[in-house]
Amino acid sequence: MAEEEIKSNGTQFEGKEEYVKDVFTEIASYYDEMNDIMSLKMIKGWHQYMMKLAGDISGKRCADIGTGTGEIAYMLAEKVGAEGEVVGIDITPEMLKYAEMKQAERNLPNPVRFEVGDALDLQYPECSFSVVTSGYMLRNVTDVQKAIDEFYRVLEHGGKAVIAEMATPDNRFIRYFYNLYMKHRVQKIGRKYDKGESIDGHGPAYDWLVNSIRGFPHGEVMAEKFRQAGFKTVKVHSKNFGAVNIYEAVKE
């Protein structure tokens, strides 16, 4: 899908970066709870699948970009062990505050290092990481291709990107029920928290989180963006009738 088509869906617009930051600042305290509702509690399974795709990363250096409240970063940290290192990067300090709060209870041999940073301009030299993960961040950035280019740049040769993003299922029958669920359950429950208040003159938080999925490029269209960044081997793993896609891309 061309960037213009994304624009026509309203997922790219003037002031998006500030809006997205303000949305996540607003919802940080109940983000994890809402994620369980939004994913019908399937999110942990998707993260476990991402870890499986990451492979043997014991002792490796990994980055989770758009880490939010740090769930994926903590899973990576368990896998890399005492000799490895995990950095969790996010543009919204409030999300990182909640990620950091989990550090004590996780009791890891090597704590996750959380840093404020922009996925479109990572403050790391090329070939810094063996694995880069990112969950549900891509539809929130102002330039999807640039984010994927950055994943590629900071990965070492032989390194792997494992990137998850939500999508609207292609199957019409499934899509009908998916849309009902998103509208009548997710947005409704979200409303209790976000109070339907508009943010920066745009929609309330859970309107954005639901509406930004609609029409967002996925599957082969997204895989092509990974190839464009330089990744040679790109696989798309579709989960739950395509409600989430996990992209596995290797830098040769």
Ligand X SMILES: C[S@@+](CC[C@H](N)C(=O)[O-])C[C@H]1O[C@@H](n2cnc3c(N)ncnc32)[C@H](O)[C@@H]1O
190: contact with ligand X by CB under 6 A: no
Tell me how far, at minimum, the Cβ of 35 lies from ligand X, in Å: 6
The reply to whether 92 sits near ligand X by the rule CB under 6 A is yes
Distance between first and last Cα of the chain = 26
Do 138 and 165 contact (CB within 8 A), yes or no?
A: yes
* Integer Cα distance of 104 and 100 in angstroms: 8
Which two structure tokens, joined as six digits, stand for 71? 């769930």
Piece in contact with ligand X (CB under 6 A), picked from 3-11, 130-138, 182-190, 215-223: 130-138
| Strands 85-90 and 129-135, sheet pairing | unpaired
Continuous H helices in the chain: 3-8, 16-27, 31-38, 43-54, 71-80, 93-101, 103-106, 144-154, 172-181, 187-194, 205-211, 220-229
The piece of 1-9, 66-74, 172-180, 228-236 that touches ligand X (CB under 6 A) is 66-74
For residue 13, with 0-12 CB atoms within 10 Å meaning exposed, 13-18 middle and 19 or more buried, which class applies?
exposed
Given 67, 130, 211, 245, the residue binding ligand X (CB under 6 A): 67
| Minimal distance, residue 70 CB to ligand X, in Å | 8
Q: What span, in angstroms and rounded, lies between the C-alpha atoms of 41 and 39?
A: 5
Give the HSE-up count for residue 112: Cα atoms under 13 Å, Cβ half-sphere: 35
Cβ distance to ligand X smaller for residue 57 or 119? 119
Does residue 135 belong to the site contacting ligand X (CB under 6 A)? yes
Q: Does 119 bind ligand X (CB under 6 A)?
A: yes
Check residue 203 for interaction with ligand X (CB under 6 A): no
Alpha-carbon gap, residue 153 to 156, rounded angstroms: 8
Least Å distance, CB 81 to ligand X, is 22
> Between 35 and 64, how does the x/- string for binding to ligand X read (CB under 6 A)?
x-----------------------------
- Give the count of residues interacting with ligand X (CB under 6 A): 20
Q: Which of 75, 141, 144, 234 binds ligand X (CB under 6 A)?
A: 141
Closer by beta carbon to ligand X, 17 or else 156: 17
In eight-state DSSP terms, residue 70 is S
Segment interacting with ligand X, rule: CB under 6 A, options 50-58, 131-139, 178-186, 229-237: 131-139
Q: Residue 95 and residue 209: Cα distance in Å, rounded?
A: 15
Q: Which of 71, 85, 150, 194 binds ligand X (CB under 6 A)?
A: 71
20 binds ligand X (CB under 6 A): yes
Q: Nearer Cβ to ligand X, position 45 or 158?
A: 45
Amino acid at 194: D
Binding site for ligand X (CB under 6 A): 20, 24, 35, 66-68, 71-72, 90-92, 95, 118-120, 135-137, 140-141
